[in-house]
Each structure stands twice: as C-alpha cells, then as structure tokens.
C-alpha cells in the first residue's frame, strides 16, 4: 500500500487531532503517502483532499475539534454520492482509508467497503463511549472531566441556596458520561437510557436524602433517558414537590470542546498508529480499539450493532454512595 487517506466525520471529539497526528506520522515513518480529506464524506465526494506531511500535523495534539473539519453527509447515503467519492479516491490512486468517528461514520465506511472494497480501518472518535470493541473511545475521558467540572461548580451554588439541580449531559443512547460524571461529582441520582428510573423513584430518593438533612441535591440526566430530558424530568418532579427550588442546567456542546486530557491524547495516538499499521497488515472493514490495554480490531458490523452495556458495578455505586 503506497497511498492512503484519512478523514474525521460526524460529531467532533477531543483527541481527534491527536489521532490524526499519529496516523499521519505513522504513515510517513513507514514510507506511505497520506492524504487528508476535509469535511468527511462531503469532502470525499467533492475531492477536497490534500497531501499531508509531518508539518501538517505539528502543534495539534493539544487542540480540540478537528483540523480536517467534520460533517454529516446526506449525499454519501446515496449510491450516486458514493460513486463520486470512489472516483475522487481512484483519481489520486488512494488504496486505503482511515476514518475517525462514531457509528454513523463506520456505517458509511462499511457500505462503501461492500461496494468498492477499499480497505478501511476506523478509529472510534465519539464522546459517548458507545462503540463495541473498545473500552474507551476518543474524547470520552475529556467529556467526563468537562461535565465533572461543571457539576462541581453547580454543587457550590446548589449548596448555597438549598437547591435541587437537574444537570443534563450528552448521551442520546448511552449513559457512560452521566454515570461517570455523576459518581465523580457525588450526584444523588443518575438517570441513564440503559436503566429505568421512574419519577416516583426519583422523588423517593431525593426525599430520603432531605430526611437525612442533605442541604442540596444533584441529579445527573443523560439526554436520552426514558423519562425525558432534564427539563421534562424537572417539570414532572416540580408537580409533586412544588415547594422545592428546582433548577436545570444543560451542559450541551461544551462537552465536545476543549483540549483533550492526557488519557485521550495517549488513547488517540495509539488508535491512530494502530489504524495505519492495521492497513499495512491487511486489516479491512474494521475498527481499531483498546481492550484490557491491548490493541484489537473489531469488524464495523460488530462495532455498530453489538451492545456495549454499562458496568453494573457503577450503577450499584450510585445507589450506595448517595446514602
């Protein structure tokens, strides 16, 4: 393999640049030409592709976001769009792809491989940590620490005013950010999509805490909880305990930004190098991941379809430590 291309796609995550840097430097080390595709699949379709060198990725390991930009492409979902993308790659003689992103990115890569057989290795870049085949995804640790910093600050004002705060973190289908930031922030309750927590249980848990003279309460809510988002849950609780001063904070996209943590920089670097060296070893249609501190490769099919359950010990911890 003499020429490969790399891109970032879908939602950005802290550490994508570190992953990109490692893949580019790894390719150069092994004598492979590497090209950067701007704006994900849209850029692939439009031919927004440039040759990269060591200087292209200098001074980016500490930067959040992605220097290659990102996008979600509707055109790539069509056969016509994918044919345009293939033509752009073949015009440059590109023989392999590295895709950094989440399940949507890998779904597109799988379909593209099925149609055109261009070997592709993915690196899991998503703050949700919801991909099967890796213990942690790029950006997850930074997002948890961002959420934790916000929870700590909100705890100060909640305690000053004897308030109940519902804090919403990202996690449409996954409660990983919620459970870890909730435990780290000493939340009284964590609500996640993977477990069912009724409004009755929420009120009961909070009232038990107030009976023990707790002066403030924090409930961390993953945005995809079955009872609704933080605003909706707060409204339901307010109807039952109208006397309580209830506030809602939605952390939103601040969880995606910022300089990546040391853990994310190292993880991303391992996965970026693992992706380029995986291509060299003949890996294709797979995601590079780290399980039990070992580099592994999992098929795109498994990474996007198999369930990655929450650690039940962490769920148990929330209940025990809220006493």
Q: Which of 282, 263, 281, 301 is nearest to 131 (CA)?
A: 301
The token pair at 16 is: 């994508």
Q: In what order do the strands lie in the sheet with 164-169?
A: 189-191, 217-222, 164-169, 246-250
Q: Is 128 a catalytic residue?
A: yes
Q: Which residues pair with 169 in a beta bridge?
A: 222
Local structure of 249: helix, strand or coil = strand
Annotated binding site for ADP: 21-25, 155, 186-188, 212, 214-216
Annotated binding site for substrate: 126-128, 163, 170-172, 223, 247, 253-256
CA atoms of 229 and 166, how far apart (whole Å): 10
- What is the CA angle 71-73-74, rounded to 5? 150
> Residue 298 contacts by C-beta under 8 Å, 6 or more apart in sequence?
132, 133, 134, 286, 287, 289
Q: Which of 3, 161, 118, 10 is nearest to 73 (CA)?
A: 10
Q: Which of 48, 87, 114, 128 is catalytic?
A: 128
Helix axes 140-161, 176-184, angle to 10 degrees: 50
Residue 210 vs residues 134, 216, 218: alpha-carbon distances, Å: 40, 8, 12
CA atoms of 136 and 288, how far apart (whole Å): 11
> Residue 201 contacts by C-beta under 8 Å, 6 or more apart in sequence?
none
* Residue 152, CB-side half-sphere exposure with 13 Å CA sphere: 7
Annotated binding site for Mg(2+): 103
Annotated binding site for ATP: 11, 72-73, 102-105
Characterize the bridge pairing of strands 189-191 and 246-250: unpaired
Annotated binding site: 11, 21-25, 72-73, 102-105, 126-128, 155, 163, 170-172, 186-188, 212, 214-216, 223, 247, 253-256
The token pair at 138 is: 């790029």
Q: What amino acid positions are annotated as catalytic residues? A: 128
């Amino acid at each position: 393999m003499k020429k490969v291309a790399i891109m970032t796609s879908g939602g950005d995550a802290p550490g994508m640049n570190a992953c990109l840097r490692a893949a580019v430097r790894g390719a150069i080390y092994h004598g492979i030409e590497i090209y950067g595709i701007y704006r994900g699949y849209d850029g692939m379709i439009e031919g927004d592709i440039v040759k990269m060198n060591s200087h292209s990725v200098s001074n980016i390991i500490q930067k959040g976001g992605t220097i290659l930009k990102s996008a979600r492409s509707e055109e790539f979902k069509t056969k016509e769009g994918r044919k345009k993308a293939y033509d752009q790659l073949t015009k440059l003689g590109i023989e392999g792809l590295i895709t950094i992103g989440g399940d949507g990115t890998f779904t597109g890569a799988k379909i593209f491989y099925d149609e055109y057989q261009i070997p592709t290795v993915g690196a899991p870049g998503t703050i949700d940590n919801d991909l099967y085949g890796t213990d942690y995804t790029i950006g997850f640790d930074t997002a948890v620490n961002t959420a934790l910093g916000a929870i700590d600050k909100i705890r100060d004002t909640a305690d000053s005013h004897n308030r109940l705060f519902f804090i919403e973190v990202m996690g449409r289908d996954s409660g990983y950010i919620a459970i870890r930031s909730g435990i780290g922030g000493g939340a009284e309750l964590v609500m996640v999509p993977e477990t069912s927590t009724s409004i009755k249980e929420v009120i009961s848990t909070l009232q038990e805490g107030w009976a023990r003279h707790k002066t403030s309460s924090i409930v961390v809510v993953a945005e995809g909880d079955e009872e609704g988002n933080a605003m909706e849950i707060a409204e339901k609780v307010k109807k039952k305990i109208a006397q309580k001063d209830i506030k809602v904070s939605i952390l939103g996209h601040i969880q995606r930004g910022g300089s990546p943590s040391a853990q994310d920089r190292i993880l991303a670097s391992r996965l970026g190098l693992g992706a380029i060296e995986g291509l060299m070893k003949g890996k294709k249609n797979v995601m590079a991941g780290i399980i039990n501190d070992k580099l592994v490769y999992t098929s795109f099919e498994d990474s996007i379809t198999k369930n990655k359950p929450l650690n039940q010990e962490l769920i148990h911890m929330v209940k025990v430590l809220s006493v």
